[in-house]
Amino acid sequence: MFGLGFQEVLLILVIIFLLFGVKRLPEIGKGLGETMKEIRKIRDERKTDKDKEKEKEDQKGGLISGIKKEVAEIPGLKEAKEIKETVDKVKNITKILK
């Protein structure tokens, strides 16, 4: 526990006992417990928010990839892209020759 040995922890507990007394220790413990509970609750909420955002991004990515697949399946599209690339190459060659 934070590199503290049994003797150090015992000494810290004795100092806390002397500072606050027997009557206040249960109140302090309850307050610390509630604080830890709230911190865990906030941490879990942030995790779920991040997970929801991640799911939305995954869904968008899946939608885009699905559209790309459908577009790729259009008849003649691949051939049209190849023709366009060839035309662009010819244009570049003719520019160089001029």
Angle at 64 between CA 63 and CA 70, to 5 degrees: 90
Tell me if 90 is assigned to some domain: yes
pTM of the entire predicted model: 0.40
Angle at 31 between CA 30 and CA 32, to 5 degrees: 90
Tell me if 1 is assigned to some domain: no
Which range (20-24, 68-72, 92-96) has the least confidence?
A: 68-72
Total tally of structural domains belonging to the chain: 1
Tell me if 40 is assigned to some domain: yes
Q: Which domain holds residue 67?
A: 7-97
Angle at 11 between CA 8 and CA 13, to 5 degrees: 110
Structure tokens at 93: 């060659």
Q: What is the pLDDT of residues 42-64, one digit of tens each?
A: 888 888 877 777 777 666 666 67
Tell me if 2 is assigned to some domain: no
Tell me if 43 is assigned to some domain: yes
21: left (phi over 0), alpha (psi -120 to 50) or beta: left
